[in-house]
Amino acid sequence: MGERAVIIGYSFWGFLGDGITDTPDGGRSHRRTLIDGLIAAGHTLVFLQADRDRTEARTPLAGPYVWDSGLPDLDALFLEWRWPIPGRNDTPCDTPGHTCDQHRQQQLLNHYTHRHQVPTLLWDKDQHLPPADPLRRIANLTVCEPALHPRHGATSLLFPVSDHALATADPEALAARPRRWPLVYVGNQYGRDTAFDTFFAQPARHLDHMVAGKWTNTSRWPHINFIGRVPFRHGLDLHSQAHATVMLAPTRYATSGQYTQRIFESVLAGCVPITPAHYRAASLVIPGELHACDGAHVADITHTLTTMPAQDRARLLDRCIRRLDRFRLSRQLHTIGQVFDQHQGADNGNLTHHTTRNR
């Protein structure tokens, strides 16, 4: 795949554009970057789930994008993994509120991965695939996780940031931008209560702050300024108005070194990413002076940032930008090429041996 154009079926349940406000789809910050990178490399992509940009956001996208609700001929299958969500995608298709993402995903696995042995990349972006799941033992399927230390034999495929965005980021301009908030957090509650308690709620008692995202159980934090979910661009704008954010994560992310898209969303907006010191591989992606031991440490770091001379802040941001190198798109495209090429090599270097065409 690395040197030859192929047809890739890409399954995702989300949006390529800004989408709708009431969605947990974090992929909007990096999905189109990855897809456009694959297309620019000469590959043909066919989207195999519903076109939610058209049907829900009412903003169909122009460009070389093709959706197919059938079972088109493919050379490779790329799945953004969907898991069972009780009452939503595990119900009969005619049930009110049902979404058919998981049913469609199973159809794709049955047809391409099992029946035709098409090379398959399963990107477990939320680490929900069980350790003993039989899919992990399928010869023509590779499980990837967006973690620096992926679990259960998975391959590391990180959330991508554009090479161009990194090359053109201007730390001096970012450092000179006026900022309204000492501390913000943009993201949802899911599994983050413990980290939030320690690293955000405590310093927020003494710092002007804002939290955007879906937080449904907040009674224990009456002092926090929760504003609920906001449009995608509003979330990006909050980072551009803030001195700092905190890389809050569920335990499974922290222990595997999985950094979400918030790391480059914040850095490229000039918002410094303070990170819990226990977060695995923190030293690889965030400068050491931004590693916090507890909430008081977060408050101290934030205070330093709010009073830091612009030239010092620019140097710090420059170091943050440089450490995003591991996330750059070109590295992730190389990983994807390696994943598919290993299956290609298993059949004497002929990827089209696996194709569903003419079967």
DSSP assignment string, 140-202:
TEEEEESBSS-STTPEE-PPPB-HHHHHH--HHHHHHS--SEEEEEES--TT-HHHHIIIIIH
Spatial contact of 227 and 211, defined as CB atoms under 8 Å apart:
yes
pTM of the model: 0.93
pLDDT value of position 2: 54
Amino acid sitting at position 351: L
- Whether residue 44 is contained in a domain is answered as yes
**Whether 224 and 129 share a structural domain:** no
Q: Residue 313's domain is classified under what CATH number?
A: 3.40.50.2000
- Whether residue 270 is contained in a domain is answered as yes
**Whether 174 and 123 share a structural domain:** no
**Whether 137 and 172 share a structural domain:** no
10-residue mean pLDDT series, the chain (359 residues): 82 94 90 97 97 93 93 98 82 83 94 98 97 96 98 97 98 97 97 97 97 96 97 95 97 97 97 98 97 98 97 98 98 97 62 46
**Whether 128 and 190 share a structural domain:** no
CA trace torsion 34, 40, 41, 42 (10° rounding)? 120
- Whether residue 2 is contained in a domain is answered as no
Residue 269 CA to residue 329 CA, distance in Å, equals 18
- Whether residue 66 is contained in a domain is answered as yes
**Whether 321 and 346 share a structural domain:** no
Residue 222 CA to residue 85 CA, distance in Å, equals 29
CA trace torsion 288, 27, 251, 256 (10° rounding)? -60
- Whether residue 106 is contained in a domain is answered as yes
**Whether 212 and 188 share a structural domain:** yes
**Whether 138 and 174 share a structural domain:** no
Other CB atoms within 10 Å distance of the CB of residue 325: 14
- Whether residue 199 is contained in a domain is answered as yes
Domain that holds residue 95: 7-160+328-354
Number of domains making up the chain: 2
- Whether residue 1 is contained in a domain is answered as no
**Whether 120 and 184 share a structural domain:** no
pLDDT value of position 357: 53
pLDDT value of position 4: 74
**Whether 53 and 191 share a structural domain:** no
Q: Is the CA virtual torsion 130, 135, 138, 144 positive or negative? A: negative
Q: What are the beta bridge partners of residue 120?
A: 77, 141
Spatial contact of 350 and 11, defined as CB atoms under 8 Å apart:
no
Instruction: Give me 153's structure tokens.
Output: 């034999």
Give phi and psi for 219, each to the nearest 5.
Answer: -60, -25
**Whether 332 and 322 share a structural domain:** no
pLDDT value of position 139: 96
Q: Residue 140's domain is classified under what CATH number?
A: 3.40.50
**Whether 60 and 93 share a structural domain:** yes
Alpha carbon of residue 312 to chain centroid:
30
Residue 9 CA to residue 73 CA, distance in Å, equals 9
**Whether 86 and 235 share a structural domain:** no
pLDDT value of position 62: 87
